[in-house]
Structure 1
Amino acid sequence: MSLLEISGLESFYGASQALFGVNLRVAEGEVVALMGRNGMGKTTTIGSVIGLVRPRNGAIRLSGKDVAGMQPHRIARLGVGLVPEGRRCFPNLTVHENLVAAARPGVWTLARINELFPRLEERRDQYANTLSGGEQQMLAVSRALMTNPKLLILDEATEGLAPVIRQDIWAAIRRLKAEGQSILVVDKTLSELLPVADRCFVLEKGRTVFSGRPNELTADLQDRYLGV
């Protein structure tokens, strides 16, 4: 069953069209990779899903409900949790305050977060702006999980992090996958992304140019659509 289904999505910034009929699907319990070079429409697609960009045409269905153009807070309440590019933790709130600010009842509790990222428990009373970049990323992932989302969206969750922290984040993603969490993930680290993904969608100039299993994304296709 599809948790998220995007069909024929067209989005604009003013008069400039950014997406041209994008199609994408995330099934329940599936990890889907959204891929493409910089500027090809990945962030606009995510923005359209979460309500920050209002689509002009097409459909975005979450558990069968069309959410295209809906207000972001309403989409979040329907079960979408976002880990945004650049982390965007609340700088003047403590780790604990960040985690409980938007928390909703469910399987993800403070105790489970502390098990997933023990370092956050050690930093419980520190302000977010005093954390390292890696710790802030752990906090951003945890804050999204505390909303107990049906769909978790990770936008460049490992970008710019030290290798050891990247491994911690990927280990968390693999654990979430094993537990059946539905995830839409954008990341450039193909060596980590492809093994965890069930399916891949590649964007090129605002269009879906590939959809399929990771093993179908050949070296030629990677060079054509993902190479520098």
Structure 2
Amino acid sequence: MTLLSIKGLETFYGASQALFGVDLDVEEGEVVALMGRNGMGKTTTINSIFGLVRARSGAISFASKQVTSLRPHKIARLGLGLVPEGRRCFSNLTVLENLLAAARGNEWTVQKVGELFPRLNERRDQFANTLSGGEQQMLAIGRALMTNPSLLVLDEATEGLAPVIRQDIWAAIRKLKAAGQSILVVDKTLAELLPVADRCFVLEKGTTVFAGTPEQLTPALQDRYLGV
């Protein structure tokens, strides 16, 4: 079943066009990587999915429902969970309060998030702004999971994190995949991203230029579209 479908997406910031025709889809139960160099439209695509910036043309559907014209809170309630770039935890709330603030549904609980990220159990009474960057990322993922999303979207899943924390995040993503969680993930660490992805989409200058499996994204294509 196709969970998320984007066709011909064009998005503007004022008079400046950022997306020129993005095509992307996520099937139920798969992990999809959204890739591209900096400034190529990855975050704008995610913001368009969530209605944080309004698409000018094209179609976005989630669970067979057109969402292009919906407000962000209504889109989220359909079953989309976002871990935004920069984490954006509620700094004046504790770890526990951050998780409870997002709670919706029964599958994901504070206890289950703590099993996925044991560090959060140790920090549950600390304010979010006292956590390390890696712990805040774990909290942001846990908070998104507490909404019990059909599709989890991670924008820059491990950017700026220490290697040992990155490994913890990727281990959690692998566990979520094994449990059947649908995931759309943006990340630049190809060595860790490609093995967990079922399919990849690459953006260049706001357009989808590659769609296929990690095996089809050859070193030559990686160098062409993702190399520095």
* TM-score for both structures, normalised by structure 2: 0.99
The letter for the 2-side match of 1:104 is R
Paired position in structure 2 for 1:48: 48
- 1:205-224 equivalences in 2 (<5 Å): 205-224=205-224
Distance 2:168 2:12 in 1: 36
The letter for the 2-side match of 1:177 is K
Paired position in structure 1 for 2:38: 38
Task: Give the 3-state SS of the residue equivalent to 1:166 in structure 2.
Answer: helix
Q: Deviations over 1:38-85 (max 9, x none)?
A: 000001000000110100101000000000131110011000000011
Per-residue deviation, 1:21: 1.2
Q: Structure 1: which 5+ runs fail to align?
A: none
Distance 1:101 1:56 in 2: 32
Identity of matched residues, %: 78
Task: Give the 3-state SS of the residue equivalent to 2:19 in structure 1.
Answer: coil
Q: Structure 2: which 5+ runs fail to align?
A: none
Paired position in structure 2 for 1:176: 176
Distance 1:112 1:157 in 2: 20
Distance 2:71 2:206 in 1: 23
- 1:150-169 equivalences in 2 (<5 Å): 150-169=150-169
Distance 2:123 2:219 in 1: 43
Paired position in structure 2 for 1:110: 110
Q: What's the C-alpha RMSD, in Å, of the aligned pairs?
A: 0.6
Paired position in structure 2 for 1:147: 147
Paired position in structure 2 for 1:190: 190
- 1:98-137 equivalences in 2 (<5 Å): 98-137=98-137
Paired position in structure 2 for 1:59: 59
Distance 2:221 2:196 in 1: 19
Distance 1:82 1:202 in 2: 20
Distance 1:79 1:106 in 2: 13
* TM-score for both structures, normalised by structure 1: 0.99
4+ residue runs over 3 A deviation: none
Distance 2:114 2:42 in 1: 31
Per-residue deviation, 1:106: 2.6
